[in-house]
Structure 1
Amino acid sequence: MGAIRTPREKWLEAGLRALVAGGPEAVRIEALAQSLGVTKGGFYGYFRNRDALLAEMLDLWEREVAESVIEEVERGGGDARERLDRLFGLVAAASEGPVRGVTADIAIRDWARRDPAVAERLRRVDNRRADYLRSLFSSFCPDEDEVEVRCLIAMSVRVGNHFNAADHGGRGRAEVMELLRRRLLA
């Protein structure tokens, strides 16, 4: 009976967790193997080297935060407001996940400041997100300027909310986010 291999996705998720914890320098094969409780030999069954792992981590992140989210929202059907509401719910529910979570987004944004190839990937993802939001908001908001403002607010809150430590005038964070959701969908 052969040994059970650690699935490729586990290596990728461990890599993303390491990226979140310490940046791209923290994504080291030996450390990932240790975090997974396996030997590093299994790594080479999936990846040529560390650079291949980093590229696949970015592929997974891009697929999950853009195309997979959009596909999931679209599968649910409904008008643009219903799809936006579902999108906001999916994003909120995934806020701390290893791939779709905002901390992965923030770590990749930080990495992009130092790596032009990652910056280009991030630009592509943000443009895909903005295009999708634009398509939904423009279906019920005829003012192009207002559509752009709503897109920027939605995308900025996705990342910026993580850094916001304000007390919100005595309101809870969830209450303020609900007010924002209603405003964006109006």
Structure 2
Amino acid sequence: MPGGNVKVTRAEWLAAARDVLISDGVGEVKVLTLSDRLGVSRSSFYWYFKSRADLLEALLSEWEAGNTGVLVRHTQMPSDTITGAVCNLFRCFVDPDLFNHQLDFAVREWARRDGHVRHVIDLGDTSRRLALTQMFERFGYAPYEADARARILYFMQIGYYALDLFEPLEERLTRIDGYVLGFTGQNARPEELTALAAYARGVQEKQAVARPA
């Protein structure tokens, strides 16, 4: 039974709410559900949040700062080439601690029922596409072509998640050079592909260590 003397942090409330949002949808993100999951009394919720609506707004802000913020920052990472810049971008997509695609689609599903969330999603998608467009423009692509390539890259990646595709990492890595060529019209340098592959394998190893036996 939940105990009033058990203390959890605001971050733990948010993490529990995020897990429920991903697994069961926004309708199940309820104070009682979360308090049972955390093993604490409902009253402790109000140390951190004014209401359920306040919690939901915090979840939305977390998505904005996390997924959208991470993607934008990865488009701005230093690189000598556009192919290197795209490889840098791919890092956030291979690391769920950076871009949480499950959260992304949980928020999109939420937006189907909430006009405010739909507006926030639309602003986020616009920010992401603009950042990608500016990434291409920095390497000399004309605005029209930069916008088209940004859309192809972004919509392909979101579609990849929407189809819930699963590929073993090593199989996925065999296609990276082709993807980079398709997105940029240029061949990636071998060292760029090697660095991305090493990063992706490091993420996989970290996940294996963290996974319960």
TM-score by length of 2: 0.72
Moved over 3 A (4+): 68-74, 163-168, 171-174
Distance 1:167 1:7 in 2: 34
Q: Deviations over 1:33-55 (max 9, x none)?
A: 22223332221100011000000
| Structure with the greater alpha carbon radius of gyration | 2
Distance 1:165 1:26 in 2: 23
| CA separation of 1:181 and 1:11: change in aligned 2, threshold 3 A | farther
Which runs of 5 or more residues in structure 2 are unaligned?
Answer: 187-213
- Written as runs of structure 1 = structure 2, the 5 A alignment for 1:58-97 is 58-71=60-73, 74=76, 76-79=77-80, 81=82, 82-94=84-96, 97=97
TM-score by length of 1: 0.81
Distance 1:167 1:122 in 2: 25
| CA separation of 1:27 and 1:100: change in aligned 2, threshold 3 A | farther
Matching residue of 2:23: 21
Q: Does structure 2 retain, via aligned residues, the 8 Å contact 1:80–1:137?
A: no
- Written as runs of structure 1 = structure 2, the 5 A alignment for 1:27-46 is 27-46=29-48
| CA separation of 1:78 and 1:122: change in aligned 2, threshold 3 A | same
Once the two structures are TM-superposed, the CA of residue 57 in structure 1 deviates from its matched residue by 0.4
Once the two structures are TM-superposed, the CA of residue 104 in structure 1 deviates from its matched residue by 0.9
Once the two structures are TM-superposed, the CA of residue 58 in structure 1 deviates from its matched residue by 0.2
Matching residue of 2:132: 133
Q: SS of the counterpart of 2:113? A: coil
Identity of aligned residues (%): 24
Equivalent pairs, count: 178
Q: SS of the counterpart of 1:5? A: coil
Which runs of 5 or more residues in structure 1 are unaligned?
Answer: none
Letter in 2 for 1:46: Y
Letter in 2 for 1:77: P
